[in-house]
């Protein structure tokens, strides 16, 4: 099983909040909430995750990359450096 789900929650919260600034809160939250197993509050904080955190992270990343491609990838890469306990997808 995955090392530290807490790291994934923190990283996903950071990613969602950064996307809220770039895309606007409505779009960023709507995209994150499309991912199965992820519960996010209106501030962009991850409340709960079901299933494999790597799959949830991949799902969120894919939603954002479909919208803003390279920008979302750069944001994700920056956060992966900040959270070494989170495996790249």
> Does residue 20 fall inside a structural domain?
yes
Count the domains in the chain: 1
> Does residue 42 fall inside a structural domain?
yes
Q: Which of 61, 87, 86, 89 is nearest to 75 (CA)?
A: 61
Q: What does the pLDDT read at residue 30? A: 95
Write down the pTM of the prediction: 0.77
Name the β-bridge partners of 40.
46
Residue-number span of the structural domain to which 46 is assigned: 5-82
21-77 per-position pLDDT tens digit: 988 999 999 999 999 999 999 999 999 999 899 999 999 999 988 887 777 788 888
Has residue 18 got a pLDDT over 90? Answer: yes
Backbone angles phi, psi at 35, to 5 degrees: -80, 120
Q: What's the gap between Cα 49 and its chain centre?
A: 11
> Does residue 88 fall inside a structural domain?
no
> Does residue 33 fall inside a structural domain?
yes
> Does residue 89 fall inside a structural domain?
no
């Amino acid at each position: 099983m995955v090392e530290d789900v807490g790291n994934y929650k923190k990283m996903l919260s950071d990613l969602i909040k950064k996307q809220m600034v770039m895309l606007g809160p409505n779009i960023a939250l709507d995209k994150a909430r499309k991912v199965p197993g992820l519960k996010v509050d209106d501030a962009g904080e991850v409340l709960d995750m079901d299933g494999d955190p790597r799959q949830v992270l991949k799902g969120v990343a894919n939603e954002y990359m479909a919208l803003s491609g390279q920008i979302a990838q750069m944001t994700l890469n920056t956060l992966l450096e900040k959270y070494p306990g989170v495996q790249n997808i």
